[in-house]
Amino acid sequence: MEILYNIIVLLQAAYLGNSFKILVVFPMPSPSHFILGNSLARGLVEAGHDVTMVSSFEDKNPPRNGKYTSVKLEGMKDILKSADENVDSFDLADMNPFNFISVMDFMGNVITNTTLTNANFKKLINSDQKFDVVMIEQFKNDALRVLACHYQAPLVIISTMEANSWVNSLVGNPSPPSYIPDVFLGYTRNMNIWQRSVNSLMYIKKEISHRLFFTPVQNELARKHFPKCVDENGPIADVSLLLLNSHESINDPVPYVPNMVNIGGYHVNPPKRLPKDLQEYCDSAEHGVIYFSMGSNLKTSNIPQDIQRAILNTLRKLKQKVLWKWDEDHVPDKPENVKMEKWFPQQDILAHPNVRLFITHGGLLSTTETIYHGVPILAIPIYGDQKMNAAKAVAAEYGLSLSINEISEEKLSNNINELLNDPKYRDNAKRRSAIMHDRKVKPMDLATYWIEFVVRHKGAPHLSVAALDLTWYQYFLVDIVLLVGAVVASLMLASYFILKKIVLFKGK
């Protein structure tokens, strides 16, 4: 059977064209990031390519045809574990979003340095391996772009979210703060004057922090390990393609330059039948099932005790069955209608017809999966882009949002009952699902096509816009404004002296 599988893969590769050697680097020590990176790597293997995956995790069931190589960044997960021990993630719910910039910059520098000094990574770099294309997750790790120069290969950037300030400048994409909210702010595109002011300040602070504090550290890290691939502007690497984990069914429409491509939903797999116990549990739910998960990074047992009691008391009064992803073995006073496990096959659960509501932290993967299956949400956002995802769900009327520190039995019950009893939320979720499914090409096939395209066309420089050749003052027309100002000032000054001469002459 395995021989037949390998023959099929080889025939597929021959049909699709040349098989390329591809390096995929996803260093972020987060399970959700690994899911995105590994899904992309596996999809490329299925398309017939030879993929080397650099990550903090390993695929427990890698492709069997020998076209997938894992380079594990040993010890990287300890960074996330240490952060969890020192910081209660639920405390971040009240953090000022402006302060979150510094946190992300610090974390990015630590992860980048840890990646570049990792023994397995250095072994890969020092080997004689060659790659046809280098693909890097862009998540506060700018120094890693030197890999494209090191391997003399086209560079593909993957954004694990929609277009944002971290990636727009790499391809010269416009991002007006007048209607495109920053990912750290819980705003939608319909911002009032106060929100637009805050959004503009966020853009400015991010740009200042990036240029003055973050970029110098990243450039120094790149120069230390790859001195020949760094000049006065930083890593010598032109971005050939930017793949975005976004889609019109989830994200607001924004400008894109030609080498930006939406592939949101590429990690979602066709639903499978649930394990026997879960299948029976969901099938027998006369009044439906509520699925409750706060993602892979948040520990639900760290939710403050008074809020835990409010949640448990609320769930106890529901006639629906509840599946709650919980990270500990025992929960005191657990309601009879609640089933708790450390892990659930989330995509397959959301696909079950009896699932009526998803209580979620509002992470982008969970949001994508719930839209894919057309299930309304109650978002309890904590940090990062979760508040913005929750705000979009509320604006599109396929969900409601509730701050974790505002949770009480009354508020939680009111939100859940409204979502269960008002059909507009499920109707809007189904409408969004129809948009996500209505595609000419599957997102993974689209990603594969464009990756192969930039390799075939030597980096596809014809897709790059001229904005990349301009300095910041040229891009924002500062030189033109100064020139016009100088001309106007000169004319006014000349007019003043001429009029003064005329007045003096007439006076005499």
Give the DSSP per-residue string, 92-136. Answer: GGGS-HHHHHHHHHHHHHHHHHHHHT-HHHHHHHTS----SEEEE
Across the beta sheet with 338-341, what order do the strands follow? 338-341, 321-325, 289-293, 355-360, 377-379, 399-401
At 326-344, the pLDDT tens digits run: 988 778 788 999 999 999 9
Rounded to an integer, what distance in angstroms lies between the CA atom of residue 341 and that of residue 296?
A: 13
Over its C-alpha atoms, the chain yields an Rg (Å, rounded) of: 26
The mean of the pLDDT values for the chain is: 90
The CATH number of the domain covering residues in 2-266+442-468: 3.40.50.2000
Contacts of 183 (CB under 8 A, 6+ apart): 161, 162, 164, 165, 384, 385, 388
Q: Which amino acid, residue 451? A: I
Q: What is the pLDDT of residue 4?
A: 47
Give the closest residue to 202 by CA, choosing from 163, 164, 174.
Answer: 164
Q: What is the pLDDT of residue 95?
A: 84
Instruction: Locate the domains of the chain by residue range.
Output: 2-266+442-468, 276-437, 478-507
How long, in residues, is the chain? 508
Rounded to an integer, what distance in angstroms lies between the CA atom of residue 254 and that of residue 122?
A: 39
In this prediction, residues 456-461 reach a mean pLDDT of: 94
Q: What's the 3-state SS for 230-299?
A: EECCEECCCEEEEEECCCCCCCCCCCCCCCEEECCCCCCCCCCCCCHHHHHHHHCCCCCEEEEECCCCCC
Residue whose entry in the numeric block shows the structure tokens 């009879």: 336
Q: What is the pLDDT of residue 298?
A: 84
In this prediction, residues 36-56 reach a mean pLDDT of: 95
Across the beta sheet with 133-137, what order do the strands follow? 68-72, 50-55, 21-26, 133-137, 155-159, 239-244, 260-262
Q: What are phi and psi of 100, to 5 degrees?
A: -65, -25
Lowest mean pLDDT, pick from 81-90, 215-224, 321-330: 81-90
DSSP conformational letter for 227: G
Lowest mean pLDDT, pick from 93-97, 121-125, 348-352: 93-97
Percent of the chain with pLDDT over 90: 72
At 139-189, the pLDDT tens digits run: 999 999 999 999 999 999 999 999 998 899 999 999 999 999 998 998 998
Q: What is the pLDDT of residue 427?
A: 97
Q: What is the pLDDT of residue 504?
A: 80
Rounded to an integer, what distance in angstroms lies between the CA atom of residue 442 and that of residue 433?
A: 14
Cβ atoms of residues 60 and 4 within 8 Å: no
Lowest mean pLDDT, pick from 71-80, 259-268, 488-497: 71-80
Q: What is the pLDDT of residue 507?
A: 73
Rounded to an integer, what distance in angstroms lies between the CA atom of residue 403 and that of residue 361?
A: 10
Dmax over CA atoms of the chain, in Å, equals 110
Lowest mean pLDDT, pick from 110-124, 320-334, 394-408: 320-334
Give the closest residue to 115 by CA, choosing from 55, 160, 70, 155.
Answer: 55
Token representation of residue 35: 């899911």
Q: Which amino acid, residue 42? A: R
Residue whose entry in the numeric block shows the structure tokens 């790859």: 226
In this prediction, residues 452-478 reach a mean pLDDT of: 92
2-266+442-468 and 276-437 share one fold: yes
Give the closest residue to 155 by CA, choosing from 181, 180, 173, 132.
Answer: 132
For residues 121 and 503, which has the higher predicted lDDT (pLDDT)?
A: 121
Q: What is the pLDDT of residue 13?
A: 47
Element of type H or E holding 497: helix 478-507
Number of H helices, E strands in the chain: 19, 15
Q: What is the pLDDT of residue 225?
A: 94
Cβ atoms of residues 13 and 19 within 8 Å: yes
Element of type H or E holding 4: helix 2-16
Give the closest residue to 27 by CA, choosing from 52, 51, 53, 55.
Answer: 55
At 74-107, the pLDDT tens digits run: 888 777 666 666 666 777 778 888 888 988 999 9
Q: What is the pLDDT of residue 1?
A: 45
Q: What is the pLDDT of residue 480?
A: 93
Residue whose entry in the numeric block shows the structure tokens 């689209």: 446
Q: What is the pLDDT of residue 15?
A: 46
In this prediction, residues 28-38 reach a mean pLDDT of: 93
DSSP conformational letter for 269: P
Cβ atoms of residues 226 and 206 within 8 Å: no
The CATH number of the domain covering residues in 276-437: 3.40.50.2000
**Residue 260: HSE in the Cβ half-sphere, 13 Å Cα cutoff:** 22
Rounded to an integer, what distance in angstroms lies between the CA atom of residue 379 and that of residue 134?
A: 36
